Structure 1
Amino acid sequence: MVCAWLRRAGGGRPEAVAVLLPVLVMTAVGLWGLDRGGMWRDEAVTFQVAQRSLPQIWHLLHTVDAVHGLYYLLMHPVLAARPGEFALRLPSVCGAAAAAGGVAALGVRLCRPRVGLWAGLLYAVTPMAGHYAQEGRSYALVAAGAVGATLLLVRAARTRRAGGWWAAYGGTVAVTCLLHELAALVLLAHAGTLALARMPARVWARWACAAGAAIVALVPLVLVSRGQSAQVAWLMPPGPGSVGRLLGAFTGPALPVAVPYLLLVALAVRPSRLRYGGLSLPAVALPLTVVPPAVLMTVSRAWPLYDERYVLYALAGAPLLAAAGAERAATLIAGAGVGAGVGVRARAKGRVDAGLRSSSPVRGARLLAEVRRRARPRPAGATAVTLTGVLTVALAFAVQLPLMRRDRMPEHHGADNLAAVSAAAGRALRPGDPVLYLPSIVRRSALAYPRGFRGVHDVALRVPGPVSGTLYGQEAGPEELRRRLDRLDRVWMVAEPFALSPSWYPDSATERVKLAVVDEEFAPREQVVREGVTLRLYVRGTSPAG
Structure 2
Amino acid sequence: MLTLGLWRLDRGGMWRDEAVSFQVSRRTVPQIWKLLGDVDAVHGLYYLVLHAVLALHPGEVVLRLPSVCAAAATAALVAALGTRLARPRVGLWAGLLYAVTPMAGHYAQEGRSYALVAAGATGATLLFVRGVRGGSWWPYGVVLGLTCWLHEFAVLLLLAHAVSLASARAGRRVWRGWGCAAAVVGPALLPMVLVSRAQSAQVAWLREPTVETAEGLLRGFLGPTDEVYAVCLGLALVGLLGLVGRRGEVTCAGVGLPLMVVPPVVLMLVSQMSPLYVDRYVLYALSGASLVVAAGADRVAVTAARLRPPARRTATRCTPPNDHPPRAAPQKRHSTSRDCGAGGGGRSRRGILSRAGCVVLVGVLAVALSLLHQFPLLLRDRDPGRRPDDLAAVSRAVAREVGPGDPVLFLPAPMRNTALTYPRAFRGTRDVALVAGAAESGTLYGREAGVAELRRRLARLDRVWVVADRRLLGGRWAPRNPVERAKAAILWQEFSGRRQAVRGGVTVRLYVRPVSARPRPPSAPPRPERW
Work out whether the TM-score is over 0.5: yes
Q: Is the 8 Å Cα contact of residues 122 and 393 (structure 1) preserved in structure 2?
A: yes
Q: Could you say if the C-alpha distance between residues 221 and 425 of structure 1 is closer, same or farther in structure 2, counting changes exceeding 3 Å? A: same
Give the aligned residue type for 1:461.
L
| % identity of equivalent residues | 57
SS at match of 1:266: helix
> Does 1:123 find its partner at 2:93?
no
**2: CA distance between counterparts of 1:330 and 1:379?**
14
SS at match of 1:389: helix
Q: After superposition, what is the alpha-carbon deviation per residue over 1:119-165, rounded to whole angstroms, capped at 9, x for unaligned?
A: 10110010000000000110000000001001111111112xx3xx3
Please identify, of 227-236 and 500-509, the stretch whose mean Cα deviation from structure 2 is larger: 500-509
**1: CA distance between counterparts of 2:355 and 2:425?**
58
SS at match of 1:136: coil
User: Alignment RMSD, CA only?
Assistant: 2.6
What does residue 77 of structure 2 align with? 102
Structure number with bigger Rg: 2
Q: After superposition, what is the alpha-carbon deviation per residue over 1:234-265, rounded to whole angstroms, capped at 9, x for unaligned?
A: 11111111121011100111122111111111
**1: CA distance between counterparts of 2:278 and 2:368?**
29
Uncovered stretches (5+) of structure 1, i.e. residues with no partner: 1-25, 350-361
Q: 1:49 aligns with which of 16, 24, 29?
A: 24
Equivalent residues in 2 for 1:58-457 (5 A)?
Answer: 58-159=33-134, 162=135, 165-270=136-241, 273-274=244-245, 278-337=249-308, 339-341=309-311, 344=312, 378-379=352-353, 382-413=356-387, 415-457=388-430
Q: 1:486 aligns with which of 436, 441, 459?
A: 459
SS at match of 1:269: helix
> Does 1:31 find its partner at 2:2?
no
- CA offset at residue 529 of structure 1? 2.3
SS at match of 1:494: strand
Q: After superposition, what is the alpha-carbon deviation per residue over 1:315-335, rounded to whole angstroms, capped at 9, x for unaligned?
A: 001111111111111111211
SS at match of 2:502: strand
Q: Could you say if the C-alpha distance between residues 321 and 508 of structure 1 is closer, same or farther in structure 2, counting changes exceeding 3 Å? A: closer
Give the aligned residue type for 1:46.
S
Q: Is the 8 Å Cα contact of residues 394 and 508 (structure 2) preserved in structure 1?
A: no
Q: Is the 8 Å Cα contact of residues 348 and 371 (structure 1) preserved in structure 2?
A: no
Q: Could you say if the C-alpha distance between residues 373 and 524 of structure 1 is closer, same or farther in structure 2, counting changes exceeding 3 Å? A: closer
Q: Is the 8 Å Cα contact of residues 330 and 380 (structure 1) preserved in structure 2?
A: no
What does residue 512 of structure 1 align with? 485
Q: Could you say if the C-alpha distance between residues 270 and 380 of structure 1 is closer, same or farther in structure 2, counting changes exceeding 3 Å? A: farther
Give the aligned residue type for 2:385.
E
SS at match of 1:488: coil
Q: 1:471 aligns with which of 422, 444, 449?
A: 444
TM normalised by structure 1 equals: 0.86
SS at match of 1:524: strand
- CA offset at residue 281 of structure 1? 1.2
**2: CA distance between counterparts of 1:223 and 1:380?**
58
Q: Is the 8 Å Cα contact of residues 390 and 503 (structure 2) preserved in structure 1?
A: no
Q: After superposition, what is the alpha-carbon deviation per residue over 1:273-322, rounded to whole angstroms, capped at 9, x for unaligned?
A: 45855221111111111111111111111111111101100100111111
- CA offset at residue 416 of structure 1? 1.2
Q: Could you say if the C-alpha distance between residues 111 and 391 of structure 1 is closer, same or farther in structure 2, counting changes exceeding 3 Å? A: same
Q: Could you say if the C-alpha distance between residues 373 and 274 of structure 1 is closer, same or farther in structure 2, counting changes exceeding 3 Å? A: same
Please identify, of 132-141 and 370-379, the stretch whose mean Cα deviation from structure 2 is larger: 370-379
Q: Could you say if the C-alpha distance between residues 275 and 543 of structure 1 is closer, same or farther in structure 2, counting changes exceeding 3 Å? A: farther
**1: CA distance between counterparts of 2:259 and 2:345?**
46
**2: CA distance between counterparts of 1:376 and 1:348?**
18
Q: Is the 8 Å Cα contact of residues 491 and 539 (structure 1) preserved in structure 2?
A: yes
Q: Is the 8 Å Cα contact of residues 274 and 282 (structure 1) preserved in structure 2?
A: no
TM normalised by structure 2 equals: 0.89
Q: Is the 8 Å Cα contact of residues 243 and 251 (structure 2) preserved in structure 1?
A: no
Please identify, of 268-277 and 392-401, the stretch whose mean Cα deviation from structure 2 is larger: 268-277
Q: Could you say if the C-alpha distance between residues 297 and 385 of structure 1 is closer, same or farther in structure 2, counting changes exceeding 3 Å? A: same
Uncovered stretches (5+) of structure 2, i.e. residues with no partner: 317-335, 518-528
Q: Could you say if the C-alpha distance between residues 340 and 183 of structure 1 is closer, same or farther in structure 2, counting changes exceeding 3 Å? A: same
Q: Is the 8 Å Cα contact of residues 497 and 534 (structure 1) preserved in structure 2?
A: yes
Give the aligned residue type for 2:7.
W
